[in-house]
Amino acid sequence: MTASAPPDCAAVERYLLDLQDRISEALAEEDGSSAFREDAWERPGGGGGRSRILEDGAVFEKGGINFSHVHGETLPPTASATRPELAGRSFQAMGVSLVMHPRNPYVPTSHMNVRFFIAKKPGSEPVWWFGGGFDLTPYYGFDADVHDWHRAARAACAGFGDADEDAAALHARLKAACDQYFYLKHREEPRGVGGLFFDDFNAWGFERSFAFMRSVAEQYLPAYQAIVQRRKGTPYGERERAFQTYRRGRYVEFNLVYDRGTLFGLQSGGRTESILMSLPPQVSWRYDWRPEPGSEEARLYERYLVPRDWLAVSK
């Protein structure tokens, strides 16, 4: 780990609270008809958070933006699964996590999360790391939207990297990590078109690693708002709505089976309502359903739910 100033948990918390405030305000204004309802909560084992939920809006059928800062005497299994040497340490975990489920099927669902962990043991140096990223889940694909989303992901990496890995290589690695993470193995398909994903991130020292987390977080809002504004007025009917609720089922499957944040929250005794706020309000499953060949629904699978270098695709 690169030598640097010791971790400043208070600075991370201040940033995350401000981030939640700014994104909440901007997306409520984007919706125009509904506001986020705040629900402050405390965790019996230590810490708490504030959940903000928007429901039944004009643009967003449901959206949640959570801040949490929890602590405890022992790391949950999901946090130490890849680093068993940390088992038994006390911990603090804080982050902002959001999922926005649009009403219009032509507007994609989006997810963003940034987080900080620190684990301590008497007589040892604290072990800390950042994690997070953002990803996009369209129901009907548009090259321009996906291109711009990945351009924002590349911009988040600009100015970072080191002698062993420049910014372009960093972006390529974190894009690949996102594609790998947001993959439904039991369906053999990705959840969406990806973005960025990073975890156990501390090699640059605290200050620069924190700066990178902020860079990722700051790219989310302008990138997603531009897509929302571009697509929210697109006419749609029952067919598009039915496909949207069907594809939302994949979102539910991923979050309940694979998502580390969901598993960490449940295992650490977090607030269940806040942890599961990411689930969409209306979902459907159809037995062995297949899209009609040549349809826009089939095009989602054929063009968008496949590995692709979107920055090499002309808008």
Any known ligand binding at 270? yes
Q: Which residues are catalytic?
A: 111
Any known ligand binding at 101? yes
* Sign for the pseudo-dihedral over CA of 159, 164, 168, 170: negative
The H-assigned helical ranges of the chain are 9-31, 77-80, 143-157, 167-181, 206-231, 238-257, 260-267, 272-275, 296-299
Environment class of residue 133 by beta-carbon count within 10 Å: exposed (0-12), middle (13-18) or buried (19+)?
Answer: buried
Any known ligand binding at 51? no
Lookup: tokens for 223? 């990138």
Any known ligand binding at 69? no
Lookup: tokens for 134? 């953002």
Find, among 97, 75, 95, the residue nearest to 87 by Cα: 75
Lookup: tokens for 150? 């990945």
Any known ligand binding at 114? yes
- Report the DSSP beta bridge partners of residue 114: 96, 132
Any known ligand binding at 66? no
Lookup: tokens for 82? 């890849």
Residues in the annotated binding site for substrate: 97, 113-115, 269-271
Residues in the annotated binding site for a divalent metal cation: 101, 111, 150, 186
